[in-house]
Chain A
Amino acid sequence: MLVWSRAGRAGAWAVLALLVGVIYALPAIIIILASVTGQWNGVLPSHFTLRHYANALHGSSAAMLRASIVTGLLASALALVNGSWAALALRNTRPLPRRVLDIVFFIPSAVPSVSVGLGLLVAFSRPPVLLNGTLAIVFVAHFVLVSAYSYGNVSAGLARITPEYEQIAESLGARPWYRLRHVTLPLLMPYLIAAFSLSFALSMGELGATVMVYPPGWVTLPVGIFGITDRGAVFDGSALTVLLAVTALAVLIALSRIPIKAAQR
């Protein structure tokens, strides 16, 4: 306790309440309010409606939601496999190449997403591989952008799990593949889940690379929301933003509640 006087503590909490209220709570409340607004001419909306949510679940908006969820699931799953593979393989590499490769696997998170999109556009609009205008280029963009987060979470997890279990399994004669499946991966499970859910949430909100590469017919939610609000349908855009945030958070929360057998300290 840093401040002992009652008044001092109350003052600090008032500052906190004001800052968090204005900076975080107000925008969150306002976007939810806007998503149910029928008419907003004065200070606050005068009519409320669920029409924007009805719009969001029909036609092109529903297709956007589906495109975002499919892209997020696929890209996160592929990034999880690739990132876990890399983290596991790097565990026993010699120190110098290991440190270099560790940085290499983190670099995609440091490059601006628009440039990642531009690179894919330049690289896959020419032979030998033509992906421009296909769904695959969107999946690839999302995969690249979330891959560092998957790798980072899994390698952080590998650094934290105690090696004794694996050593004991090894000394009892467990073959490498058996040990990976029954010892290492279960121990890593919390980190794998965290990696997947963070990747999914980031993919759901990805805009910079997608806006560069998306083909007609595979408009993800952020790209669609930008188009809709740019046309002036701000309340429809708000309803879709709320749906996007709720989907991302629901996946995060649902996955964090999966009971994990090999709980780790």
Chain B
Amino acid sequence: MASLALPLPGRRAFRPGGSWIIPPAAVLGALFFYPLALILGESFAGGKGAATLLNYASVLTSVQFASALWHTVVIALLATAGCLALGLVLSLILAFIPFPGSRVLARVIDTFIALPTFLMALAFTFIYGTAGILNASLMQALHLGLPPLDFLYSQWGVILAEVTVYTPFVMRPLLAAFSLVERAEIEIASSLGAGAFRIMRQIILPAAVPALLAGGSLCLLLTTNEFGIVLFIGAKGVVTLPLLIYTKAIQEFDYTSACVLAVINVCLSLSLYSLYRATLSWFGGRSAGLV
């Protein structure tokens, strides 16, 4: 009865032809790609009609832009490095030195993905802020008149908050990769006298490379695009590209500059996204389980 699973002749299978993709594609086109195209147009025209590169010249040479680009890149790189380091340590312990409840703990950390990013920024002001727990304790213990720690209102505060928020995005593919590592291999290596660090270096880390690259490039994208944390920490002088776009458009009503900045920011994000997709397809599809 091999023919059972084959479509009967004459009856059309549910093969929605090429035209079925048009409605959802049109919706996305009208609501997402058309606005993006208008940003591009506005960045050249500036509402005046004739296309010109002068808008770009004035934005690209401004100190504000240079500083915002610098902060965006530095924060994204350092936060991603932090996410990779923290995610690796947490995943290694959760996967290879398990304890009752380690799976539950991994699930709980994973739910932080669904929480708003500014939650951490707000919590950090109570812990590390000038009037926060840490400073208050230090002032009490050391009899200081002024709060000794001021790192929260600098790029370090933003980086710390982003590491906290985006580490689960590294742990997700890492834990998936670690679950595929053969436990017997580790036990044999261990019984032959390999120490924990040698096993990590020779068995575990090679298996983790694709996950680290996928998680890392996703973190790079997300930290480049991050807005809520930077806005909520509100450190003076720490302005990233998304925050500068917001400031230009909403507070200064300078839509042309905002559009120029948005074009640059979108290009940066799309190249990071291509990097992420390339990493994923290089290592075999969406095995990392991420969008």
Residue numbers of A with Cβ under 8 A of B are 1-4, 8-9, 12-13, 15-16, 19-20, 23-24, 26-28, 30-31, 33-34, 40, 42-44, 82-83, 85-86, 88-94, 97, 101, 103-116, 118-124, 140, 143-144, 147-149, 152-153, 156, 159, 164, 166-168, 170-171, 173, 176-177, 179-180, 198, 201-202, 204-208, 211-212, 222, 225-226, 229-230, 234, 237-238, 241, 244-245, 248-249, 252
B residues in contact with A168, CB < 8 Å: 4-5
Asked whether, in the complex, the Cβ of B127 is within 8 Å of the Cβ of A30, the reply is yes
Residue A208 contacts which of B124, B137, B228 (CB distance < 8 angstroms)?
B228
Q: A101-B21, A249-B114 are in contact. Are A211 and B246 (CB under 8 A)?
A: yes
9 smallest beta-carbon distances between A and B, as pairs: A205-B116, A119-B35, A176-B14, A27-B123, A110-B273, A201-B114, A2-B96, A208-B227, A89-B20
Asked whether, in the complex, the Cβ of B14 is within 8 Å of the Cβ of A180, the reply is yes
Asked whether, in the complex, the Cβ of B5 is within 8 Å of the Cβ of A171, the reply is yes
Fill in one digit per residue for B81-125: 1 if any A CB lies within 8 Å of its CB, else 0.
000001001101110111100000100110110111111101111
Asked whether, in the complex, the Cβ of A122 is within 8 Å of the Cβ of B14, the reply is no
Distance in angstroms from A162 CB to nearest chain B CB is: 11
Residue A104 contacts which of B28, B93, B119 (CB distance < 8 angstroms)?
B28
B69 at the interface (CB under 8 A from A): no
Distance in angstroms from A30 CB to nearest chain B CB is: 5
Q: A34-B126, A108-B28 are in contact. Are A118 and B112 (CB under 8 A)?
A: no
A residues in contact with B162, CB < 8 Å: none
Distance in angstroms from A153 CB to nearest chain B CB is: 8
Q: Which of B51-59, B143-151, B261-269 lies at the interface? A: B261-269
Asked whether, in the complex, the Cβ of B6 is within 8 Å of the Cβ of A92, the reply is no
Q: A27-B120, A112-B225, A122-B42 are in contact. Are A86 and B25 (CB under 8 A)?
A: yes
Question: A8–B199 Cα gap in the complex (Å)?
Answer: 15
Asked whether, in the complex, the Cβ of A122 is within 8 Å of the Cβ of B114, the reply is no
Distance in angstroms from B60 CB to nearest chain A CB is: 17
B176 at the interface (CB under 8 A from A): no
Question: A108–B224 Cα gap in the complex (Å)?
Answer: 15
B residues in contact with A144, CB < 8 Å: 28, 31-32
Asked whether, in the complex, the Cβ of A13 is within 8 Å of the Cβ of B35, the reply is no
Asked whether, in the complex, the Cβ of A241 is within 8 Å of the Cβ of B28, the reply is no
B232-271 contacts to A (CB < 8 Å): 232, 234, 241-243, 245-246, 249-250, 255, 258-259, 262, 265-266, 269-270
B159 at the interface (CB under 8 A from A): no
Distance in angstroms from B204 CB to nearest chain A CB is: 8
Q: A12-B97, A173-B11, A249-B114 are in contact. Are A86 and B127 (CB under 8 A)?
A: no
B202 at the interface (CB under 8 A from A): no
Asked whether, in the complex, the Cβ of A149 is within 8 Å of the Cβ of B291, the reply is yes
The 16 listed contacts between A and B (C-beta, < 8 Å) are A1-B97, A23-B86, A33-B126, A86-B25, A105-B28, A106-B277, A108-B28, A110-B273, A112-B245, A114-B262, A152-B291, A170-B7, A212-B249, A222-B228, A237-B122, A252-B114
B residues in contact with A152, CB < 8 Å: 291
Q: A2-B200, A92-B16 are in contact. Are A85 and B24 (CB under 8 A)?
A: yes
Asked whether, in the complex, the Cβ of B11 is within 8 Å of the Cβ of A31, the reply is no
B residues in contact with A249, CB < 8 Å: 111, 114-115
User: How many residue pairs bridge A and B at CB < 8 Å?
Assistant: 287
Further 20 A-B residue pairs, CB within 8 A, beyond A31-B122, A241-B119: A2-B186, A20-B90, A24-B109, A24-B112, A86-B21, A88-B20, A103-B277, A115-B36, A122-B42, A144-B32, A149-B291, A170-B7, A170-B13, A170-B14, A180-B14, A205-B115, A206-B116, A222-B118, A222-B228, A226-B231
B residues in contact with A26, CB < 8 Å: 123, 127
Residue A241 contacts which of B11, B31, B116, B133 (CB distance < 8 angstroms)?
B116
B residues in contact with A97, CB < 8 Å: 18
Asked whether, in the complex, the Cβ of B89 is within 8 Å of the Cβ of A252, the reply is no
Asked whether, in the complex, the Cβ of A3 is within 8 Å of the Cβ of B196, the reply is yes
Distance in angstroms from A86 CB to nearest chain B CB is: 4
Question: A248–B113 Cα gap in the complex (Å)?
Answer: 11
Asked whether, in the complex, the Cβ of B123 is within 8 Å of the Cβ of A115, the reply is no
A residues in contact with B250, CB < 8 Å: 211-212
Question: A179–B136 Cα gap in the complex (Å)?
Answer: 65
Distance in angstroms from A186 CB to nearest chain B CB is: 15
Q: A107-B270, A156-B286 are in contact. Are A179 and B36 (CB under 8 A)?
A: no
B residues in contact with A19, CB < 8 Å: 86, 89-90
Asked whether, in the complex, the Cβ of A86 is within 8 Å of the Cβ of B111, the reply is no
Asked whether, in the complex, the Cβ of B273 is within 8 Å of the Cβ of A115, the reply is no
Asked whether, in the complex, the Cβ of B13 is within 8 Å of the Cβ of A119, the reply is no
Asked whether, in the complex, the Cβ of B164 is within 8 Å of the Cβ of A27, the reply is yes
Question: A152–B23 Cα gap in the complex (Å)?
Answer: 18
Asked whether, in the complex, the Cβ of A207 is within 8 Å of the Cβ of B116, the reply is yes
B residues in contact with A211, CB < 8 Å: 231, 246, 250
